Amino acid sequence: MKRRLASWMFALALIACGAKSWAAPVVIKNRWERQAHPSVMYYNYMASVDGQPVRIHIAEIDLAGQVRLQPVMAWDQMDRLETVTSIAKRHKPIVAINGSYFNMDPRDAFPVGFLMLDGRVVYFSHTHRSAFGLTRDNVPLFGYPRTRGSIYVEDTGEYFYIDGMNRERSANQAIVYTMEYGKRTVTKRSQLEIVVERGVVREFGTGNMRIPTDGFVISLAGDAMKYKRMFRMGAPVKLYFVIEAEWLRVFNSLTGGPMLMRGGRIVVQETQSEQFKRSMHARNPLTAVASKPNGHLLFVVVDGRRPGHSVGLSYVELSDFLRGIGANNAIAMDGGGSSTMVINGELVNKPSDGSPRGVTNALCVFQRK
What's the distance, Cα to Cα, between the start and end of the chain in Å?
A: 27
Classify residue 4: in a domain, yes or no.
Answer: no
Q: What is the DSSP letter of 315?
A: H
Residues 236, 121 share a domain: no
Length of the chain measured in residues: 369
Q: Is residue 271 part of a domain?
A: yes
Q: Are 55 and 309 in contact (CB under 8 A)?
A: yes
For residue 316, being part of any structural domain is answered with yes
Residue 168 lies in a domain: yes
Instruction: Tell me if residue 74 falls in helix, strand or coil.
Output: helix
Where does a domain end: 226, 242, 258? 242
Q: In the chain, what is the greatest distance between 2 CA atoms, to the nearest angstrom?
A: 73
Q: How far apart are CA 79 and CA 333, in angstroms?
A: 18
Q: Are residues 121 and 152 located together in one domain of the fold?
A: no
Do 153 and 130 lie in one domain? The reply is no
Both 274 and 211 in one domain: the answer is: no
**Whether residue 133 is found in the same domain as residue 162:** no
Query: Which of 255, 102, 78, 239 lies closest to 160 in space, CA to CA?
Result: 239
Pairing of strands 286-291, 329-332: antiparallel
Write the pLDDT tens digit of every residue in 16-49: 333 344 578 999 999 999 999 999 999 999 999 9
Q: Which residues pair with 52 in a beta bridge?
A: 49
Question: What's this model's pTM, rounded to 2 decimal places?
Answer: 0.88
Question: 139 lies in a domain?
Answer: yes
**Residue 20: inside a domain:** no
* Separation of alpha carbons 14 and 216, rounded Å: 50
183 shares a domain with 136: no
Is the same domain home to 67 and 100? yes
Of 211, 242, 273, which residue sits at a domain end?
242
363 and 269, same domain (yes or no) = yes
The total of structural domains in the chain comes to 2
Indicate if 161 and 117 belong to the same structural domain: no
**269 and 358 housed in the same domain:** yes
Fill in the amino acid letter for 23.
A
- Three-state DSSP at 134 gives strand
The DSSP string of 346-366 is: EE-S--TTSSPPPBSEEEEEE
CB atoms within 10 A of CB 344: 16
Same domain for 137 and 263, yes or no, is yes
Alpha-carbon distance 111 to 323, whole Å?
29
CA 52 → CA 6, 46, 304, distances in Å?
Answer: 18, 11, 11
Judgement on whether residues 120 and 253 belong to the same structural domain of the protein = yes
Pair 302, 54: CB distance under 8 Å: yes
Q: In the listed set 209, 242, 275, which residue is the last one of a domain according to the structure?
A: 242
**Which residues of the chain carry a pLDDT beneath 50?**
1-21
Would residue 208 count as lying in a domain? yes
> What digits encode the pLDDT tens for the residues 252-278?
999 998 999 999 999 987 766 666 655
Range of the domain at 175: 148-242
Q: Is the peptide bond before 106 cis (omega within 30 degrees of 0)?
A: no
Whether residue 42 lies inside any domain: the answer is no
* HEC profile of 279-305: HCCCCECEEEEEECCCCEEEEEEECCC
